[in-house]
Structure 1
Amino acid sequence: MMIVDDEPNILDGLYEFFVKADFKDLEIIKVHSADHAIDWLNTVKIDIVLSDICMPGMDGMALIQEIVDRWPRCKVILLTGHNEFDFAHQAIRNPCVVDYLLKTEGMDKIRAAVELTLEKISSEEDYFYKSQWLRDKLPRALPQLQQQLLHDILRRTERIDRQSLQVEFDAIQLPFKADGSVLPIILRMEAWRNYETASDRSLIRYAVANIAEELLSDKVEVKAVDLDPGTIACFVQPKSESVSSIKEEELWLKTLRFVHGTMESVQQACGKCLQLSVSIIASDQEVHWHELNYALNRLRLAIFDSPGLGMEKLLRINTKEVGQVQVLCIIEMQQRNYCSTI
């Protein structure tokens, strides 16, 4: 949760209050301006923003749009003064704004709003990932054809004809662009726990793929396919409607920031909803379609080149590095029994 207020006394008071409140698994960040808040939004995934509306420079209203542009599922709680309700009523129409409060209402009211927001986040996860929902979404003919095509692309060793590939994508309703680059990601099951039968593991792989596609599809086009009984690959491109309105380099910069920031949420959802230990290894950069097989192989090798084989990891890998795979960023490495090792 990020707290944003330009008044030092209020900012420090809110920060100290929530640090002492000791919400489980909730890290608190405090910033004194909207510009400083954007620096954090560009760096890490933020789940809740508790923000003043009136601030010098960029106010809370403008900050809301910056939040939505980066993290669409972030929840915003606005703090207002007596004369700011017109702004609050305007802001509450935005779906990311869950509440607005008077600063004079006291800490207990603000704490209650944060607790309700955390419950809202949890209920959204339960809605998307409950087992019956996953069973109802079992693959039909079209998803199978999509998987077959993506597997076929991985077997092609020569440069791919873009026009022909686009015809294939369109025929089976894959939302990818053959003339664009693609970002590869690997999800590897590290500990199956009680999922012992082949049918159980097949269903769980499908559940993991759905979690990854659901969380990533807020900002990108994504498709997950099985590579082997314990490994899933995800292929990611920016949404097609964004391409014409922004330079490709900047678009990919935003896409990489969003994908890499969302990896931890995918991992946490797998642990919470499926009790499954999953490692996620993503390329640090986009690649061409004909480079996809090579990039995926380097991602898979990174599992064995990094320390703690068999432990849950979050990795970003330079798939174009010559020689030994270079691990650019080990975000987190831990055993599912919650014993921290690194």
Structure 2
Amino acid sequence: MTSQKKLQGLVAATVTPMTQDGEINLAVIGQYVDYLINEQGVRSVFVNGTTGEGLSLSTQERKQLAEEWVAKGKDKLDHVIVHVGALSLPESKGLAKHAAEIGVDGIAVIAPSFFKQVNKDALVAFLRDVALEAPGIPFYYYHIPPLTGIQIKVEELLDEMVEQIPSFHGVKFSDRDLLDFGRCIAKNSSGRFALLYGVDEQLLSALTMGATGAVGSTYNYFGKANNLMLEAFAKGDLSTAQKYQFCIQEFLSFAIAEGFGVPQIKAMMSLVSGIPMGPPRLPLASASEEFVANVKVKLEDLKSSLYHLF
């Protein structure tokens, strides 16, 4: 694909469909692509990330998924960004090389997180070595300290990434630290790279600071609502944008109280899209029937008051 379009707007962090016996289910990816475009208005995806259980998949499975998303998204999706991060540098480099060979539109790498005593120079060196395996492919740093435990500020990494990684195109910023995010925005006054926010319930706040787009799991099923929020914000209609954000926050607050993670996101996707996403991979356990029933009731309540959002 290797699109030269600027990555902006909503990017769905895709789930990995699985069969009931825990194997990846490639057969529904084409249906998944059409659903995102036609029902949610989302034309870019982030594959094999946290929501996609990327680090619970084998290297071969990650390659198969990347290939299928590229094949089924051809001439339909604007961007297929594939996460190629791993604990092992050779594994991550191999995934990056494969991604380039199949024609993805971008690669992303998370900070390796088993060894927590990582300094910024070593982290940038790791990212650089992976990016060099796909020199013609836009590279994005995937920053998610709540999961990795690596607390190095993105602001501290930006200058080195720009200098050492010729293919550097931006950051997937999945953290609530708006101070760090704001400092990154200030360093990006020329708009040279993309700063994509990754905490869905705070997207409007990030937009006011200058976020150029967003990557998140809720855009799989709340893409339409979030697109309406983006449109209102672009028009300067903050009141309407707030209405959409507050609606999304209401649902997420409810879901988090019920217990919300990858298993619940997969159940949500199956419920909303009608596409069987299957169970998560162990050690994650499937969402309970009670969760699904409660979510169904909550969605119906939201539809009755804000029917045009869903």
TM-score by length of structure 1 reads 0.27
Which one has the largest radius of gyration?
1
Q: Which has the higher helix share?
A: 2
TM-score by length of structure 2 reads 0.30
